[in-house]
Structure 1
Amino acid sequence: MSSTSIDKKIYSNLIDGLKIQNIYLNDLKLTNVNREIKGNSLSVKLDCKLDKIRNIKEKDGILEVFPNFSIQAFSDEDVLQVAFNIDIQFYIRYNIKNLADFEKIYIDTFINQNIPLNIWPYLREIISSLSTRIGFPALVIDPFTIKR
């Protein structure tokens, strides 16, 4: 969805009227840990899914989203060797002033652009910490950027 199809003033009003109430780790699954991989660094492939799991309570001004992230870490020495997979689901709850006044396009734009940005620091910390706890070098994830 293109940001040119929305009114920037209306979208700004949505952003100005929101507050993050909670961010929780909802589910985490670690699979395919390959302890045979040697080396001092890993590469990563990360996928984010935001499109299906959401709960909007317009009357109460509540937006709840359960973003899913799939992470696959590879050996830097052999990118065909998977070091481990992580599937993570977060729970994030927003209170949005006058939520019922905003059309679906504004909520969808917010979900697709802002939720990854809000979750990213938590995701980076979990991935880095978990990779060291299972015996691999700290896996450092680049800062989040929005593709334009």
Structure 2
Amino acid sequence: MTISHTLQKAIDSLRLQDVYLRDSFAHCHDEFDPKYLGEQEALNVQQMHVVRQTVIADLEGNGKLVRVFVRFGVRWVNPIAERSMDEQGSPSVVANIEAEFIAEYALEQEISQTCIDDFATQNASLHVWPYWREFLASQCERMRLPRIVLPAWQLPHHRREESSGC
């Protein structure tokens, strides 16, 4: 897979400055106590990943900053109750963890909004992913939720073709 012209232009024009947590939410629902529940392994895990928005900020004489807001989430669903759904037609969520991170990039040369959008949707999450992995692992441990080990994230165009020799 090759990188599009607009994405490459954004990669060449943006320099990562910071990644930080903007917002987080963690909750075990009323009747659910993960420490003493023997059915943890039976819970279904659902994940969320959304690039919510990009904002270009003028730094008053110091250039521009592109801020990408990326939201992640995991929720544990009771598989038995999930089949029947609750009164509102939603799955029976017993716990959830969500976090929104901001990745900030110095804009070294002007680029189009299309370039910025391509970068935000195809590349920015790569920079945020390690922070989300650590945050999720830490929250799971603190809340005594089943451990979730998220894989390292690699962009498709960085993958090597498999050879028969390895």
Please give the root-mean-square deviation of Cα atoms over the aligned residues, in Å: 3.1
Q: Which residue among 66, 70, 93 is the counterpart of 2:73?
A: 70
Partner SS for 1:14: helix
Taking structure 1 as the reference length, what is the TM-score of the superposition?
A: 0.75
Q: Which residue among 93, 112, 119 is the counterpart of 1:110?
A: 119
Cα deviation 1:68-94 (Å, max 9, x = unaligned): 22221346x868464411121112211
Q: Which residue in 2 is equivalent to 1:15?
A: 11
Partner SS for 1:94: strand
- Structure 2 distance, partners of 1:66, 1:128, is 21
For structure 2, the residue ranges without an aligned partner over 5 or more in a row are 83-91, 158-166
Q: Which residue in 2 is equivalent to 1:144?
A: 153
Change (3 A) 1:79 1:130: farther
- Structure 1 distance, partners of 2:125, 2:73, is 13
Deviation, 1:137, is: 3.2
Matches within 5 A, 1:50-69: 50-51=51-52, 53-57=53-57, 60-69=63-72
Tell me which stretches of 4 or more aligned residues in structure 1 moved more than 6 Å: none
CA contact (8 A) 2:9 2:115 kept: no
CA contact (8 A) 1:66 1:91 kept: yes
- Structure 2 distance, partners of 1:29, 1:11, is 32
For structure 1, the residue ranges without an aligned partner over 5 or more in a row are none
* Equivalent pairs, count: 140
Taking structure 2 as the reference length, what is the TM-score of the superposition?
A: 0.68
Q: Which residue in 2 is equivalent to 1:46?
A: 47
Q: Which moved more, 1:14-23 or 1:32-41?
A: 32-41
Larger radius of gyration: 2
CA contact (8 A) 1:28 1:88 kept: yes
